[in-house]
Structures are given as structure tokens and as C-alpha cells.
Chains A and B, each alone.
Chain A
Amino acid sequence: MLNKIYIFIAVIALFSVSNTFAQEHNEHVVKTISHDENKKHIDESTHHGEKLNLKDQIKADIKHHLQDSHDFHIWKNIGFPLPVILWDEGLHVFLSSKFHEGNGVVESNGKYYAISHGNGHIYKTDASGEIEHNEKGYETNDKPLDLSITKTVFMIMITALLMFLLFTSLAKSYTKNGGIAKGFGRLMEPIILYIRDDIAIPNIGQKEYKKYMPYLLTVFFFVWFVNLFGLTPLGINITGNIAITFTLAIITYLITTFTAKKDYWKHIFWMPGVPTPMKFVLAPIELLGTLIKPFSLMIRLYANMKAGHVVLMSIIGLMFVFKSWIGSPLSFGLAFALSLLELLVAALQAYIFTMLSALYFGAASEEHEHH
């Protein structure tokens, strides 16, 4: 029964998300085309035009913020370049600052690369650095395999390092202190216990929960920390990145599939307790359900975090658009309230991801005695 509900929700979520993105994208295409022109005209524009340009600039900023980047940009001109690592019939390694020299084209071992304004990815180009777009506004150039340490990868590394230091120090403090945690890691102990007692054990069961604990704990803290980093002024939008949530979802899917017991597959392919013709109908639905479950995990986290960032940055942007004594404090207050809400969302999304993963693991490792 629960499975059906999930499928239903996932299908609805899928349609609504793809619709909004289609609309959003159409707007983006127009904007990216006009973006560069706007910048050129910014000095000579009228008062009315300036306001319009500001709005466009805010939109472009938001879009830029949501994307992964090959530079680590902190404030205005402060930041540092990150290494670009490409595999394109050979290894190409150079610093991203090279893109800012000349006309944005980098030549490496006889090949030319440029960054697209559309999605921030590196494409293969000719010497002029021209990137072709199709009628929908998507880049048509070939992509090299981009293994660059991007801003997102850099922050993931930092998060991973922080997590490792935090939790190993917590682990050590137990042995040092005779079973009682000490230090900053102590704050995390109730959360670890919560995940064990209220997420893992009720959903998976006392017998099987232990083998899933490392993944559940890691994914919860990773998503939570990364979401929180996204709320700092650095504003690194990691979980609002489809590749990240895809990775997390696919790991959940793989763990579910490879730890699944006989009963799990039996319930998918030959549902017990329903008439035989229904079994044939249910099998494809159930099979599709196994894929839709992780897919919904991926979309949920991605859409929530991305939407949160878009709304929050839009409201912050409104402060500069209003430029009045009423509007700006109002949007400041709104942005503040929304930031608090986003703090909750950061934890909530981590919780939901962990909770649902545990639920799927529970379904996979469940054993029915009465069939």
C-alpha cells in the first residue's frame, strides 16, 4: 500500500518538477542570450533601464550561484582558481584561471575548451571558443570527461574531511573517557542515537539494522552538513546539484537491491495474496516502483535545496531592487525568516532522505513468516 502511494507521489513530483524546469529553462535561454548584451549597456542605460538591468543581474547571479563552478569565488574579486582536470584522448590539467585570460578559450595539448554560460560546464570548441546551441538553448558541442576539482568537489572534500575529523574524534573520546563522549562530537551523539533508535531500528528491525547503520549515518550527516554549508554566505549549493543527489540515490538503490532478501523479490514479481491475473499486472508496477523510489529521493532533495536557494536569493535580491525604506527592510526580514526556515529544511531533507532510505532497506531485508 505504501509503495503505491510513493509511486503516485513520485509521478506527480516528476511531472510538476519537469514542467517548472521547462518553463524556467525557456526564460534562462532568453536571459543568457541577453546577459552579455545587458552588461555592455549597463553604463549608458537610463534610470528605468538600470532597474531592469539590476533585476537581470540578480537573476544571473542566482543562476550562477546555483551552478557548479571551476573557480572558488568568495567575494567580488576575492577567490582562488581550482584545478581543471579533463580526459579527452589524454589528460589535460590546468588551472581554471586560464579561462579568464584572453577570450575565455583555453588551449591544452592542441585542443580548445570553453566554459558555457548556460550550465557552467566545459565544452570542446574550436580556437574561437564558439559554443553552439540547439533550438531549446542546450549546448551541442562535445563534452570532455570533466574530472575537475570544481567548487562543489572542493567543498565535498572539505565536508568529508570535517566529518572524518569530527566523528573520529568522537569515537576516540569514548575510549579515552570510559564510554562517555566529550568535546564537540558530543553534540552529535544524540543525533546518532536518534538515527539508530528512531530511524533505523523501527524501519529495518532489530535483527538487520546494524549493517545499514554506516550508510544511514554517513548520508544523514553528509546531506545535513552540506545543506548547512549551502546556507553560509559562501553559499555553495551542493545538494542542489542533480549529480550529487543522483549519486546518493543510486547508492541507496544499489544497497537496497543487493541486500534484498528472497521475500522482497517475491513481493515484486509474484505478489502473494492477490489473484493470479493481478500478479501479472502488479509485477511491472512493482518493478517500476523500485526505480521510482530512488528517483523520488533524488528529485526531492535536489528540488528542495535548489528551490530554497532560489527563493532565498530572490528575496535578498529584492532588497536591492526595492531600494526603499519600506520594501528593503521588509524583504530583509523575510530573508531572515526564510533563512531560519531553510535551516530547518536543511535538517529535514537530510532526515527525510535517511528515513526513506531506511524504509527501503527495511522493505528489502524484511522476512515474512506467514506466507
Chain B
Amino acid sequence: MDALLNEFSVGLFIWQTLLFVGLIFLLKIFAWKPILNAVEEREEGIRKSLEGAERAKQEMQNLKSDNEKILKEARAERDTLLKEAREMKESIVSQAKEEAQLQANKLMEQAKTAIQNEKAKAITDMKNQMGELSVSIAEKVVKNELSNKDKQLQLIEQLLNEVTLN
């Protein structure tokens, strides 16, 4: 301890205090403050840029997923449209078929009726002609039969018998 005290120089202490404290203040104003501020600013800048990049990445991802969603929706819509079209086509075709069937049936029906009518007319016609024919035949037969008087009387008699029976 004595050795330390013997070595201690008051002048050196005063000089060192003056110079060192002066140095602290000078460096504080002209060096440390601007240096630390610049470094902090830079760090802040880096931090912000990194955050920005992260955000951009996130946005990009969102955009991508949005696109995908839209694409998916479009695809789905297309599919439904196609399906609807197919259904519509099918329904139209079946409807048309039905209608055609109906029409055909109707036509057939009409044809049948017409044929029936024609047939009935023809039958009536034939009946009439056959009636006329049979009447004329009967006239001729009767004319022929009743040419002699005996036969005429015989017939009348027969006929009269039949009437009484009725």
C-alpha cells in the first residue's frame, strides 16, 4: 500500500481526469451518439425490411391461394354448367321422343278411326248393295216361282202358317 501511495502522482491523476472526462464528453457528442444512432437506424431499417418481405410473402401466398380458390370455383361452375346442359339435352330429347310418340299414337288413332269409318261405310255400302242384289234376286226368283198359280197359293198358305205360329 505504501508502495502504491509512493508511486501515486497527483499531477498524473489531474491530467488523466481532465483528459479522460474531456474525451468522454467529446466522443459522446461527436462519435458515440451519431454512431449508435446510425447503427440503431440501420437495425430498425433491416428489421422493417425483413417484416415487409415477410408480409409480401404472406400476401403472395394469400393471392396464390385466392387464385386457386377462384380456379376451383370456376372449374366447379363449369362442371355444373356441363351437367345442366347434359341434363337439359337429355330432358329435351326425352320430351321430344314422348311428344313424337304421342303424335304417332294420335296419328295411328286417327288412321284407325278413319279405317274403321271407311270399313263401316264399306260394310254399309256392301250391305245396301247386297240388300238390293238380294231383293232383285228375290224379285227374280219370286217372279220366276209365281209364274204358275199353284205355287203362288202354296206359298201363301205356307206363309200364313208361319204367321200364325208367330
Q: Are B35 and A179 in contact (CB under 8 A)?
A: no
Set of chain B residues within 8 Å of A214, measured between Cβ atoms:
24-25, 27-28, 32-33
Once the chains bind, are A163 and B3 in contact (CB under 8 Å)?
Answer: no
User: Which A22-36 residues have C-beta < 8 A from chain B?
Assistant: 22, 24-25
Interface segment among A96-104, A143-151, A318-326, A334-342: the answer is A143-151
Interface size on A, residues (CB 8 A): 55
Q: Per-residue 0/1 for B29-40: is the Cβ within 8 Å of any A Cβ (1 yes, 0 no)?
A: 011111110110
B7 partner residues in chain A, CB cutoff 8 A: 119, 241-242
User: In the complex, which of the residues B13, B26, B33, B38 contacts A243, with contact meaning CB atoms closer than 8 Å?
Assistant: B13
> Could you tell me if B35 and A247 are in contact, using CB atoms closer than 8 angstroms?
no
* B35 engages A156 (CB within 8 Å): no
Which residues of A227-286 are within 8 A (CB) of B? 241-244, 246-248, 251
A145 touches B10 (CB 8 A): yes
Cα distance A291–B125 in the bound complex, in angstroms? 153
In the assembled complex, A316 has its CB within 8 A of some CB on chain B: no
Shortest C-beta distance, B143 to chain A (Å), equals 147
Contacts A138-B2, A167-B31, A217-B32; A192 near B12 (Cβ below 8 A): no
Whether, in the assembled complex, A215 has its beta carbon less than 8 Å from a beta carbon of chain B, the answer is yes
**Interface-forming stretch among B14-22, B55-63, B68-76, B79-87?**
B14-22
B41 within 8 A of A: yes
> How long is the Cα–Cα vector from A268 to B21 in the complex, in angstroms?
28
A243–B8 touching, CB < 8 Å? yes
Interface: A139 (CB within 8 A)? yes
List A contacts of B27 (CB < 8 A).
Answer: 163-164, 167, 214, 217-218
A157 CA to B18 CA, complexed, in Å: 11
Say whether A170 faces chain B, with CB atoms less than 8 Å apart: yes
> Which A residues are in CB contact (< 8 Å) with B9?
68, 121, 146, 150, 241, 243
Chain A CB within 10 A, most for which of B27, B30, B32, B35: B35
Q: Residue B41 contacts which of A148, A152, A179 (CB distance < 8 angstroms)?
A: A179
Q: For residue A157, which residues in chain B have a CB less than 8 angstroms away from its CB? A: 19
A118 within 8 A of B: yes
**Cross-chain pair count, CB within 8 angstroms:** 136
Asked whether B10 lies within 8 Å of A156 as measured between CB atoms, the reply is no
| CB-contacts of B105-121 with A (<8 A) | none
Contact indicator per residue, chain A 24-50, by CB within 8 Å of chain B (1) or not (0): 110000000000000000000000000
In the docked arrangement, what's the CA distance between A217 and B20, Å? 12
Asked if A160 lies at the interface with its beta carbon under 8 angstroms from chain B, I say: yes
Decide: B20 and A251 in contact? CB cutoff 8 A: yes
Q: Are B38 and A163 touching (Cβ within 8 A)? A: no
Instruction: Tell me the complex Cα distance, A25–B10, Å.
Output: 21
Smallest CB separation, A336 vs chain B (Å): 30
B39 touches A193 (CB 8 A): yes
Q: Is A153 in contact with chain B by the CB < 8 A criterion? A: yes
A213 within 8 A of B: yes
A: residues with CB less than 8 A from B are: 18, 21-22, 24-25, 68, 118-119, 121, 136, 138-139, 143, 145-150, 152-153, 156-157, 160, 163-164, 167-168, 170-172, 174-175, 179-181, 189, 192-193, 196, 210, 213-215, 217-218, 222, 241-244, 246-248, 251
**9 nearest A-B pairs in the assembled complex, by CB-CB distance:** A167-B31, A174-B38, A214-B28, A146-B11, A171-B34, A243-B12, A247-B16, A21-B3, A179-B42
